[in-house]
Amino acid sequence: MRAKYICLTILFLPFVIHASIFSSDSIVHPEVDQNGMVVSQHYLASSVGAQILEDGGNAYDASIAVAFALAVVLPRAGNIGGGGFMVMYDEKTNKSYSIDYREKAPALASKDMYLNDDGSVNNKRAREGILSIGVPGTVYGMWEVHKKFGSLPWKKLLDPAIKLAEEGFIMSPFMVDALNKRYKKLSNYKNFKKIFYKEYPVQMNKRLLQLELAETLKIISKKGVKGFYGGEVADKIVTDMENREGLISLQDLKEYRPVWREPLKGNFKEYEIITMAPPSSGGIHIIQMLNILENFNLEELGHNSAAYAALLSEVMKFAYADRSKYLADPDFFEVPTSRLVSKQYAQAIFKKIKINKVTPSSEILPGKLIPYESEDTTHFSVADSFGNIVSNTYTLNSGYGSGVVITDTGIIMNNEMDDFVSAPGVPNQFGLLGGEANKIEPFKRPLSSMTPTLVFKDSSPIIATGSPGGSVIITAVLQFLLNMLVFDMEISDATVVPRIHHQWVPDILFLEKGFDINHAREIESFGQKIISSGPRTSLESLEIQNDLFYGFGDTRRPDSRAAGY
Ligand code: DON
């Protein structure tokens, strides 16, 4: 596919030829290995996964071990108190699968639960503290994957996380920084403060011990899923809920189940895209946008040229406008999936878009401006030598979730309830608008943007990717796919080049720092308002080519790392 693979280098003897491993044009290079690859947002978790592969585990075993390790070493996003989605390809059955272990609204949740008496939305209540918590799905999700595809004992997958929590690890400068930045908000939560702010400011080179979390993980290791959704851990969750007027009951925990869902499939050029279906909006909009974009000659426009960025921006506006109306939990709302991902519908949108011309968002549908907060989620990709591949994104929603740590357990709880629509026309923390479809209802899953995705060529998986970033996830994944599949970039280049983002409302095109200033001016001259933005995403991707595994951890989050085996 890429020039570097097509171009065969003749070495010494005329009969010995080999394809070059790295592109000679790239200034950043991926990790390369022969037997498998793990890419995650923390180097310790990536090593845990690589070790599991080396010990004979498959990509599923490694993924589960990485998920639990991240709950310890990346507590801002890695979790057992949150939820997410995993998309995977299983070599044995030659099939793709996806599991939805998204959090659910508790039975006592109600549509107006975040409204003040005067009808305005109490954003703080939706985003922080006990009422912002959805019923967590991560432990059940990992358990289901283990039961269906795992090859090593469950206990072995928990051991590395238990060790990291019990013996501690040295906090990275990035983690120290993240904690210090959030002190004002998170020090209000006494259980959180006890673990993470033994001192303030948190100093570099300190070892973080999480002894209560280690005990909780030991219970989960011993009792499996029953160790979280029942027994003493569940009792502690419920006691905190009762003491602090939270809504989650023992029944909510006992009844929580993840859902195996048919993954969403699309085609782009000679590739097949396998991604997450609702309740994530990510998959639908990736396919929808690729369907529109395949009608343009993107190579001719040139990567990150003004015309290219302005075109992407137009396509993004249409996708996010649809997101606000048609996307929600499919168990509660009939999502018109097939219509949204049809080539016919893409044609209709394609006809409305002109190169170098900007349609104001207000002409697509009305909306209003809102500010952003940068928050957290995390993605990891894993591939093994057996042919299995995993793409997993999971989250607490905001960095460190709700701030609530369940007493004596070390479990940081999510604030996923903010992904619902608190009131029509009122955006959530990512500035996303929604309507009736995504209103709060008991047992419902809030709409997500998480986009774990796989790419296949000639029926074999060649790419796994995904990212944190809330609303920005979908456009980050889109651009990574275009960089790889249209512009033939090396995976490292495809990850680091500046990205753009438009989400229909506000009508602003965000250009990541490093985007060519002259091109930015040109886009402005088309009539598109632009803003320069810092990094809000972190792609953790891998690629398989010529029996080699390439991995690259996004430098936007400096602890990201690929670990090969
Ligand atoms: O599911 C979602 O779309 C959000 N809860 C994800 C949050 C997120 O990515 C925050 N990360 N930076």
Q: Closest residue (by CA) to atom 9 of ligand 1?
A: 470
The pair of structure tokens assigned to 80 is 């057992």
User: Strands 8-10, 31-33: parallel, antiparallel or unpaired by DSSP?
Assistant: unpaired
C-alpha 398 to ligand 1 mean position (Å): 7
Closest ligand 1 atom to residue 473 Cα is: 9
Residues 277/326/437/400 CA torsion (nearest 10 deg): 50
| Coil, strand or helix at 110 | coil
Cα distance between residue 449 and residue 276, in whole Å? 10
Q: Of these residues, 138, 216, 275, 377, which one is catalytic?
A: 377
Q: Closest residue (by CA) to atom 4 of ligand 1?
A: 470
Alpha-carbon distances, residue 161 vs 75, 147, 150, 153, 412 (angstroms)? 12, 19, 17, 14, 15
Alpha-carbon distances, residue 108 vs 405, 414, 446, 451 (angstroms)? 21, 17, 15, 29
- What pLDDT shows up at residue 444? 98
Buried b (16+ CB within 10 A) or exposed e, 91-105: eeeeebbbbbbbbbb
Handedness of CA 122, 128, 131, 136 (dihedral sign): positive
Closest ligand 1 atom to residue 471 Cα is: 3
- What pLDDT shows up at residue 89? 98
Kindly give, in sequence order, each residue whose CB lies less than 8 Å from that of residue 33, ignoring residues fewer than 6 positions away: 548, 549, 551, 564, 565
pTM for the full model? 0.95
Q: Are 280 and 449 in contact (CB under 8 A)?
A: yes
Strand pairing partners for 382? Answer: 38, 390
The pair of structure tokens assigned to 557 is 């989050």
Residue written as token pair 């395949």: 294
Q: Closest residue (by CA) to atom 6 of ligand 1?
A: 470
Alpha-helical (H) ranges within 113-171 are: 123-127, 138-149, 154-167
| 565 residues of the chain, pLDDT tens digit each | 554 444 444 444 445 556 788 988 888 999 999 999 999 999 999 999 999 999 999 999 999 999 999 999 999 999 999 999 999 999 999 999 999 999 999 999 999 999 999 999 999 999 999 999 999 999 999 999 999 999 999 999 999 999 999 999 999 999 999 999 999 999 999 999 999 999 999 999 999 999 999 999 999 999 999 999 999 999 999 999 999 999 999 999 999 999 999 999 999 999 999 999 999 999 999 999 999 999 999 999 999 999 999 999 999 999 999 999 999 999 999 999 999 999 999 999 999 999 999 999 888 852 222 334 445 899 999 999 999 999 999 999 999 999 999 999 999 999 999 999 999 888 888 888 888 899 999 999 999 999 999 999 999 999 999 999 999 999 999 999 999 999 999 999 999 999 999 999 999 999 999 999 999 999 999 999 999 999 999 999 999 999 999 999 999 999 999 999 9
Closest ligand 1 atom to residue 449 Cα is: 3
Residue written as token pair 């989050």: 557
Q: What is the DSSP letter of 280?
A: B
Cα distance between residue 166 and residue 49, in whole Å? 19
Kindly give, in sequence order, each residue whose CB lies less than 8 Å from that of residue 10, ignoring residues fewer than 6 positions away: 16, 17
The pair of structure tokens assigned to 70 is 């991240």
Q: Render 223-261 in DSSP notation, one character per residue.
A: HTTHHHHSHHHHHHHHHHHHHTT----HHHHHH---EEE
Amino acid at 447: L
Q: Which residues line ligand 1 (CB under 6 A)?
A: 375-377, 395, 397, 416, 419, 448-450, 468-470, 473
Amino acid at 234: A
Q: Are 278 and 287 in contact (CB under 8 A)?
A: no
Pocket test for ligand 1, best of 70, 79, 450, 538 (most atoms within 8 A of CB): 450
Q: Are 21 and 564 in contact (CB under 8 A)?
A: no
- What pLDDT shows up at residue 372? 41
Give Cα 110 distance to the centre of its chain. 27
Cα distance between residue 360 and residue 318, in whole Å? 11
For every residue of 181-201, which 3-state class applies, written as one string?
Answer: HCHHHHCCCHHHHHHHCCCCC
- What pLDDT shows up at residue 369? 24
The pair of structure tokens assigned to 256 is 């929580």
Q: What are phi and psi of 533, to 5 degrees?
A: -130, 155
- What pLDDT shows up at residue 375? 58
C-alpha 33 to ligand 1 mean position (Å): 31
Q: Is 216 a catalytic residue?
A: no
- What pLDDT shows up at residue 50? 98
- What pLDDT shows up at residue 307? 98
Closest ligand 1 atom to residue 446 Cα is: 1
